[in-house]
Structure 1
Amino acid sequence: MSTIATRAAARLLVPVLASACLIAPAPQAHADGDGASFVPAAEAAKTEAAAHPATSTKHEAEKKAAKKAAKRVERVMSTVRSRAGKPYVYGAAGPNAFDCSGLVQWVYRHVGERLPRTSGAQAGATQRIRNPRVGDLVFFTSGGHVYHVGIYAGGHTIWHASRPGVPVRKDRIWSGSVFYGRVR
């Protein structure tokens, strides 16, 4: 059977089969040069959403949650960058001087999240994860104890307040004795 005859037969059979199955044919937007028609993605999505409202609502909720998470990460990173160059002072929690956990606590407080004061307590307040995303926390350990924390900046780097004489800055992760946590 020729291609033209196959297409003609298909155009005749689709409405018959659709009505037999009690399914309305999809709206046709326009035809291309060979007479075949297609439905734009937006119209297909509307048709799918009408047919499966629970799935559509779930998908929209997931998109909304992802957008909210992306905005939060953006706020975390812009907030920590705004502290670049501020001095390290043991026990300081901002806004003009920080130690490591004070910086993390201050940044997350400014995006609406409450974290404990020390790096060990912050480790206990986060969900442990394997694959960090920008904005997650990086905990450095020695002898089974957390001794330092920073905010993951991607590319194996962190923002942190490291030690006296070194201001808040972005550095490469220097140790393999780390684990990652996500603020819940």
Structure 2
Amino acid sequence: MCSCRVSLSDQLGEKSKHETPPISELNRLLWKFTGKSNHLDEVRPGIYIGDLYAAKDKSLLKALNISHVLNAAHGKYNVNTGESFYRGTNITYHGVEAFDTPSFDISSFFYSAAEFIKSTLSTPGGKVLVHCAMGLSRSSTLVLAYLMIEEKMTLVEAISAVAPNRNICPNSGFLEQLRTLDIQLQN
């Protein structure tokens, strides 16, 4: 005789309450996937994550019909591109001056970045490159936040959607901020 209990919500087929996994489980999930590590990779239709080399290769961006660039490493001491760098390319630019340190509060940019990506994808033919220096931490964090905010994914679902298409590695502080966002969005 089984001593297992089945909850009423399980019996009725209702979705059980979402629990955000701890950092250790999220890291294990990230390591599970063997995504690509090119200068840029399409991680979702119309969304590319890349590094500074891709961001500075205007001919590549033109060949891929990239219409928008979200620089998650904007600023003099980061990847110093901007509207003037893309002048004459028809690329719409949005810069976020974020630093890839666990103590940096990148969460203050989650909603503005998500809105920029959403706006890009709602434009006919819109494609966005979200980049930072290496295309691993800051850029992936903002794409994951977009998927959670606008596409209503959990953090685990967002990682599972992106990581098979590109190696991503949000730093521990950014993962914790994404966990907090996941908890807020699920309540």
- Normalised to the residue count of structure 2, the TM-score between the two structures is 0.23
Structure with higher Rg: it is 1
| TM-score normalized by the length of structure 1 | 0.23
More contact order relative to length (CA 8 Å, sep ≥ 6)? 2
Q: Which has the higher strand share?
A: 1
